[in-house]
């Protein structure tokens, strides 16, 4: 029987693998970018480096990590740290792109301009944010809801008034899931869906 447990050091490779295997609007993004390390370096590994106490995983009965939720209680502080301390170590591996309009360019642009993304307006009233990813074998069993509620309890304990998240507009599964776990869709930029939840 799978179970939820806190993140622990050593989980990072599995988290990065899950991130890429769910990184194409919920589908497998393996091989879509110049490196399969790109998505994990932006969307999961900095969270467990900065806020390991805001991270939980789903562990299968045979010990594999098959899902996770990670969060940051203060998006603006996290973005400043990401920009100034985390991302510089990846600049050589992932230099800024110019002249192309690919999905990878868009992702890298977001990494280099971390503090001015589509969630900036939501961060004022909903300062925390999160990322959640589940392997297909984990979905539909209540683990997504349980991970969300575990993180929401942690945010409440820290006095956080609200949380937001951003999903691809192509991710129909996410668009259906987040309202079921208490999030409200707010006006969003083209191509993305921004959801918010009061705590």
CA separation for the pair 22, 16 (Å, rounded): 10
H helix or E strand, kind and range, residue 68: strand 65-72
Q: How long is the chain?
A: 199
pLDDT tens for the chain, 199 residues: list them: 899 999 999 999 999 999 999 999 889 999 999 999 999 999 999 999 999 999 999 999 999 999 999 999 999 999 999 999 999 999 999 998 766 678 888 889 889 887 545 456 677 889 999 999 999 888 888 999 999 999 999 999 999 999 999 998 888 888 899 999 999 999 888 888 999 999 9
Report pTM: 0.93
CATH of domain 3-198: 3.40.630.30
For the chain, which residues make up each domain, given as ranges? 3-198
**Residue 172 C-beta-side C-alpha neighbours within 13 Å:** 0
CA separation for the pair 150, 108 (Å, rounded): 30
What letters, b where the CB count within 10 A reaches 16 and e where it falls short, cover 34-52?
eebbbbbbbbbbbbbebbe
Strand-by-strand arrangement of the 55-59 sheet: 3-6, 55-59, 65-72, 128-134, 162-168, 192-198, 184-186
């Amino acid at each position: 029987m799978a179970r939820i447990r806190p993140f622990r050091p050593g989980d990072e490779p599995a988290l990065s693998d899950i991130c890429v295997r769910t990184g194409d609007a919920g589908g497998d993004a393996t091989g879509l970018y110049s490196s399969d390390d790109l998505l994990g370096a932006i969307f999961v590994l900095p969270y467990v480096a900065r806020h390991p106490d805001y991270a939980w995983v789903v562990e299968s009965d045979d010990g594999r990590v098959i899902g996770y939720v990670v969060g940051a209680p203060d998006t603006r502080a996290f973005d400043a740290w990401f920009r100034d301390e985390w991302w510089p170590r990846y600049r050589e591996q992932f230099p800024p792109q110019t002249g192309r309009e690919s999905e990878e360019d868009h992702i890298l642009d977001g990494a280099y301009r971390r503090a001015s993304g589509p969630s900036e307006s939501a961060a004022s009233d909903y300062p925390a944010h999160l990322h959640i990813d589940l392997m297909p074998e984990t979905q539909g069993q209540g683990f997504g809801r349980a991970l969300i509620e575990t993180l929401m309890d942690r945010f409440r304990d820290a006095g956080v008034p609200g949380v937001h998240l951003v999903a691809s507009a192509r991710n129909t599964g996410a668009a259906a899931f987040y309202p079921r776990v208490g999030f409200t869709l707010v006006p969003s930029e083209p191509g993305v869906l921004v959801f918010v939840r009061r705590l």
